[in-house]
Structure 1
Amino acid sequence: MHFLMDKKQIIKVRGILKSDGKTLLCEHIKGFFHFLPGGTLETGESLHQCLVREFFEETGLNVVVTDFVGCLECHWADHLTSYQELNMIFNVSTKDFNQFVVVAIRPIYIAHASNVVYWWT
């Protein structure tokens, strides 16, 4: 049986933050996947505004958006919806590193979100 699925497009902005040769990654608390800090673009927001806002909300860090790195496109479907997610990826920098220590072996808990931990890798 063939049926039409709803289609949904999502635009996200992600940031690459490096320190001492390590990159900050988020990990879902259940360990399902890793991702770069960032989030969903809101209506009327620029890509840079979105990334600055999301980075602060997730990590408490004030970042400056620098170079555009590229776009990662993902596709998946659930029961009735087909998704297309576009991840706009930028390099970012910060002067707020005094808020936490770079840890290479264990996660750091700097986020307000209860389902995410952050790793330097």
Structure 2
Amino acid sequence: MYPRANTLGLIIKDNHILLEQQEGKHSKGIGLYYRPIGGTIELGERSDEALIREFSEEIGVEVIIKRYITCLENIFRIDDNIGHEITQIYLVDFKDKSLYEKEHFTVLEGDKVTYAKWVSKEELLLGNKILYPNGLTDLLRNELS
């Protein structure tokens, strides 16, 4: 198995971040966890292009990339399986500003349906909600304050 290259976009509104809510087994246990919208970078695709594609495919919206933030390397274990992601993180905006008024978005990924909603940065920083990838909470605390 090799590291997976992926890209994630942070959309921020009034100290809230749009995050996909998922449920299941993760590296810290079983239950709810949150992750920004994004996904795998395909061979020959730039990370910013992949991010625009992922927002379109997963929640059906157009985004504008404001700026590149950083790269996070996330090595984790779930049961006996090791995972390794190299993630490009971007700050993005909705192209259609009226989308900031929506409370939640349906996320479609293949046959899987989940939801994205606005989660307060404070809940994440206090550890009340589990955020992936590892290192993203520290990034929110130090870089996006």
Moved over 6 A (4+): none
Structure number with bigger Rg: 1
Give 3-state SS (helix, strand or coil) of 1:8's partner: coil
Moved more, 77-86 or 44-53: 77-86
What count of residue pairs does the alignment treat as equivalent?
Answer: 111
AA partner of residue 52 (structure 2): V
Deviation at 1:87, TM superposition (A): 1.1
Structure 2: segments with no counterpart, 5+ residues: 25-30, 120-145
Counting aligned pairs with the same residue, the percent is: 25
For structure 1, list consecutive stretches of 5 or more residues without a partner in the other structure: 1-6
Q: Identify the structure with bigger relative contact order (alpha carbons < 8 Å, sequence gap 6+).
A: 1
Structure with more of its chain in helix, by fraction: 2
Cα gap change, 1:55 to 1:81, in 2 (>3 Å) = same
1:110 maps onto 2:106 in alignment: yes
Q: State the TM-score, normalized to the length of structure 2.
A: 0.65
Whole-Å separation in 1 of the counterparts to 2:41 and 2:60: 18
Q: Is the 8 A contact 1:110 1:117 kept in 2?
A: yes
Per-residue CA shift, 1:16-75, capped at 9, x if unaligned?
112233210111145432111000000010111100000111111101112111122111
